[in-house]
Amino acid sequence: MRRGALICYADLAFGKEETAVLTDMRTETTKVLREAILRAFSDFPLEGLPGPEALETPPDATLGDYAFPCFRLSKTLRMAPPAIAQALAQAVDAPEVATAQAVGGYVNFFFNRLNFARLTLDSIMTAGERYGGCADAGKTAVLDYSSINIAKRFHIGHLSTTVIGHSLKRIYRHLGWKTVGINHLGDWGTQFGRMIAAFKRWGSWEMVEAGGVDALTALYVRFHQEAEENPALEDEGRGWFRKIEEGDPEALETFQRFKDLTLKDASRVYDILGVTFDSYNGEAFFNDKMGRVIDELREKNLLSESQGALVVDLEEYRMPPCLIVKSDGATLYATRDLAAALWRKDNYHFDKALYVVAYQQNLHFQQVFKVLELMGYPWAKDEMEHVAFGMVSYEGQAMSTRQGNIIYLDELLTRAREKALDIIREKSPELEDPEDVASQVGVGAVVFTTLLNNRIKDIDFWWDRALNFDGDTGPYTQYTHARCASVLRRARQNGAEPDIGALTNDEAQAVLRALARFPEAVRAAQKGNEPSEVTRATLDIAKAFNKYYYEQRILDDDPAKTRARLDLVRAVKHVIALGLYLIGVRAPEAM
């Protein structure tokens, strides 16, 4: 295959290439449907034939594996949908793929269970780590996530942006994209001049090194308290920030040490979560790159003056003006984000740029994208997206820095591991290396809970829900993976040819359907920038397998049937581990 060609293991159909695999039956069912239409209605226009997207998944498996609603053909054929469904069901002639049944205005397709089982398991084994993924999509995605502030501790409010961005990076990479993960540091502004002023008055490197980011925060709080009594301190803070802007060696060295200290503190959390970045270029990096933005806006007659400030008027687009330069000459977030977008396009040549930032910044990104579009960059409309998410609360209480109601992320993760360890010691006292398993389970519970529902929904984090081994949780899904590993460890060596007929019962078919739909979930997650699609699909596999585990015997005296069931167990273990990996959760071998 030529270099750069797209091999998508989710979409290839029978016989297209030697490496082709079939992860679900959608392609073949579509082919059967199209042939039935042409057989039943020979004058049907070819351009009107339905594609794979026309097939629906019935809410109940008793209604079929796929369903085709005939209502869309009614106008073309001038027939009632039930009559069309009856004609199509009678015209279907592909028993090796599926049988058809007309129900009202729908044609319900029931897979050939034997072939479906064989093809699904073969596709998973053939694709291996690439199941549901692609090799070399030839595209680049730039993801801006986490974006912590210098001299501030990493708290629970940073959780969503961090784990959503990390998961999307893995999902895009799985689908063949080159990815660039960016931690756009909040490292510019007058507050850092205040921080240096406070440090010079009341701090020392010994104190800061010993107290870490908490010591910097305490200095910053003291500065504001003292400034209420002594307003001249604000001038001192502005003076130090001016020195940073002018490149004063002392100011830059002090500020750099503050940044290093913050990143060292944050790296502990990133290491626990397994989160990585390719760039830490933050606001300060773009300070000398904003001139291009201002010059271009001026050259293209997009800048106007408003009360001494320079703005881009967006009234025509029902938005307030985008502030570019304040009346005192200072630039803003929007200016730096515009500069960052241009620099990233020039240097990374991205096909998609994602900003994983809370929904409160909706207007900000709408303005930035529109300004770029007005500057003559059409990619701003097609390739840039704000991946918004909801708020996080903790056991019914909203987070508030002013009220002191803040949960720091390292403390949350430590507590999660401790609680998981208590449960493991109670339920599995003989488990080897319980601390490592507790770390996988505790941290996984936090991440899984965060990525379980649509990202725009608010999250209320409760321990008893997150660490439940029986609900829709990370521990439940991880335990299913460990259960599969346990079954495989107990199984004897079995060289028999698998009897796939052992997998035609309802419970096994439900597992196979869940496995076969996993690639669709991965594609949906990338298309909607919605990791919960993968979380839910992985959870569905776990639920289907646990029902199968309790309803069907896996290990028995029939070597051929046992081998087939073990192949199913291996497939479940493999895909659950893959699904957990894509959302940033580890898969324990024992729990």
Which residues are known to be catalytic?
152, 155, 158
- With 0-12 CB in 10 A as exposed, 13-18 as middle and 19+ as buried, what is 495? exposed
Whether 476 and 445 have beta carbons less than 8 Å apart is answered as no
Residue 471: other Cβ atoms inside 10 A = 12
Cα separation of 6 and 137, whole Å? Answer: 5
Cα separation of 436 and 414, whole Å? Answer: 12
Helical (H) or strand (E) element with 111: strand 106-111
- With 0-12 CB in 10 A as exposed, 13-18 as middle and 19+ as buried, what is 322? buried
- Residue of 266, 583, 272 whose CA lies nearest to 447: 583
Q: CA–CA distance from 300 to each of 52, 107, 277, 369, 431 (Å)?
A: 46, 57, 35, 16, 67
Helix (H, G, I), strand (E, B) or coil at 540: helix
- With 0-12 CB in 10 A as exposed, 13-18 as middle and 19+ as buried, what is 412? buried
Phi-psi region of 486 (alpha: psi -120 to 50; beta: other; left: phi over 0): alpha
Q: What share of the chain is helix, strand, coil (3-state, %, to 5)?
A: 60, 10, 30
Helix (H, G, I), strand (E, B) or coil at 62: helix
Cα separation of 213 and 151, whole Å? Answer: 6
